[in-house]
């Protein structure tokens, strides 16, 4: 088993630049029972000499696959497989093996929640067998590239895009895609499974962690908070949340994220109003209650820097 901190290092190295499992029929039945009972992780596996992957039943027809990069959503039913995000390019096989453990065949639809490499890294392979779907701006940014990220290959680009909202009728369920224009990036998609009572928030949620808000890709600090508040108002208390990063979450966890965002924004707005420099505002730190939100990719200092930079305009 690869230590957890090494998984973080792999994630950091890749993001900064931008199962093997085999169930018998009875084990497949146990997965379905676990999902029906709302149990947690059923199995823990790892790719050869690589990071650990976990396949976690969520609810209804939906499961969550964790590994390296953004959490993957998997919907399985009579029509076939729908997948949300594809993680990094290196880990195609363990993702395929995990999916094969509960369903035959390749995903017919793959939804990208946004354009970052830890969520679209294996688009080229999965796009050759299924249909890639995203919000309009995801395709635009992938096609153009940015910084050290070259333009994506044609086969990795979403073949179907939408502007504001879209519904896929799949596995006897309405799979609802909704666009949030100012949040983690300018092209974030939230995926609702209303019958299964599950939602995949992409990187509009980093469960229990300071979020990475990509200001250079149209991300917006106030918009991130607004997205959290909008989702809280929309979702029921019985919803199960797949976050972009971190363990499975509840509406209470999303409320905690919104509270943290609101209080941190108010604190930084006060420091900006006091004409603190970025250095002074960052060195002032945060109250001790937020220490647990600091993590390897977005420690407290980086979070404060994002707040300071992102709150300079009044009407972002």
User: What are 57-98's pLDDT values in tens digits?
Assistant: 999 999 999 988 899 999 999 999 999 999 988 778 888 998
Q: How many domains does the chain have?
A: 1
pLDDT higher for 88 or 30?
88
Most confident of 6-10, 35-39, 53-57, 190-194: 190-194
Is residue 316, in this structure, part of any structural domain at all?
Answer: no
pLDDT value at residue 314: 63
Residue that wins the pLDDT comparison between 43 and 74: 74
- The region of weakest confidence among 21-30, 226-235, 292-301 is 21-30
CATH code of 153's domain: 3.60.15.10
**pLDDT for res 180:** 98
Cβ atoms of residues 219 and 247 within 8 Å: no
In this structure, the dihedral spanned by the alpha carbons of residues 137, 298, 260 and 290, taken in order and rounded to 10 degrees, is: 180
The per-residue pLDDT for 296 is 96
For 74, the 3-state DSSP assignment is strand
pLDDT in tens, 119-139: 999 999 999 999 999 999 999
Task: Flag whether 262 is in a domain.
Answer: yes
Whether 263 maps to a domain, the answer reads yes
Q: Mean per-residue pLDDT for 1-27?
A: 39
> Is the predicted pLDDT of residue 117 greater than 50, yes or no?
yes
Among all chains, which residue has been given the structure tokens 């895609």? 177
Contact predicate 111/189, CB 8 Å: yes
C-alpha separations of 111 from 28, 62, 209 in Å: 25, 14, 24
What is the spatial distance between Cα 63 and Cα 123, in angstroms, rounded to a whole number? 19
Confidence of residue 46 (pLDDT cuts 50, 70, 90): low
> What's the confidence (pLDDT) of residue 289?
96
- In whole angstroms, give the CA distance from residue 294 to residue 306: 13
State residue 310's pLDDT score: 98
Q: Would residue 120 count as lying in a domain?
A: yes
Q: Which domain holds residue 82?
A: 4-310
Name 45's bridge partners: 53
State residue 48's pLDDT score.
56
Residue 315: inside a domain, yes or no? no
Rg (CA), the chain: 19
pLDDT at 311: 98
**What integer is the mean pLDDT of 251-264?**
98
Distance CA 73, CA 63 (A): 6
Tokens 């964790």 appear where?
66
Which run of H or E residues covers position 198?
strand 198-200
Report the distance separating Cα 51 and Cα 142, nearest Å. Answer: 26
Average pLDDT over the chain, rounded to an integer: 87
Q: What is the pLDDT of residue 49?
A: 59
Residue 249 carries which DSSP code?
B
Q: Are 55 and 95 within 8 A, CB to CB?
A: no
Look at residue 121 and give its three-state secondary structure: coil
**Is pLDDT of 1 > 80?**
no
Percent of the chain beyond pLDDT 70?
Answer: 83
CA 316, CA 313: separation in Å to the nearest integer?
6
d(CA 314, CA 311): 7
Q: What is the mean pLDDT of residues 43-52?
A: 59
Q: What is the mean pLDDT of residues 20-34?
A: 35
For residue 107, CA distances in Å to 24, 58, 237, 292, 297 come to: 21, 18, 30, 37, 30
Distance of CA 72 to the CA centre of its chain: 7
State whether residue 66 is helix, strand or coil. strand
């Amino acid at each position: 088993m690869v230590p957890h901190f090494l998984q973080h290092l792999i994630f950091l190295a890749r993001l900064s630049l931008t199962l093997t499992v085999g169930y018998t029929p009875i084990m497949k039945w146990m997965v379905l029972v676990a999902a029906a009972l709302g149990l947690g992780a059923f199995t823990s596996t790892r790719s050869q000499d690589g990071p650990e992957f976990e396949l976690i039943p969520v609810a209804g027809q939906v499961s969550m696959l964790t590994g390296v990069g953004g959490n993957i959503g998997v919907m399985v039913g009579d029509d076939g497989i729908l997948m949300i995000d594809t993680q990094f390019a290196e880990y195609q096989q363990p993702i395929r093996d995990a999916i094969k453990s509960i369903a035959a065949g390749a995903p017919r639809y793959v939804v990208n929640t946004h354009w970052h490499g830890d969520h679209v890294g294996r688009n080229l392979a999965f796009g050759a067998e299924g249909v890639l779907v995203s919000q309009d701006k995801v395709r635009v940014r992938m096609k153009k590239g940015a910084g050290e990220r070259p333009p994506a290959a044609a086969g990795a680009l979403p073949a179907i895009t939408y502007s504001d909202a879209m519904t896929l009728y799949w596995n006897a369920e309405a799979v609802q895609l909704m666009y949030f224009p100012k949040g983690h990036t300018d092209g974030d998609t939230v995926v609702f499974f209303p019958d299964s009572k599950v939602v995949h928030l992409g990187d509009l949620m980093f469960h229990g962690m300071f979020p990475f808000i990509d200001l250079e890709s149209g991300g917006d600090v106030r918009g991130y908070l607004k997205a959290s508040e909008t989702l809280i108002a929309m979702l029921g208390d019985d919803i199960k949340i797949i976050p972009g990063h971190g363990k499975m979450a509840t509406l209470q966890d999303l409320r905690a994220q919104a509270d943290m965002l609101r209080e941190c924004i108010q604190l930084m707005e006060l420091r900006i109003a006091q004409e603190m420099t970025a250095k002074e505002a960052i060195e002032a730190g945060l109250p001790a209650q937020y220490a647990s939100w600091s993590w390897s990719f977005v420690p407290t200092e980086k979070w404060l820097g994002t707040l300071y930079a992102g709150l300079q305009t009044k009407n972002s």
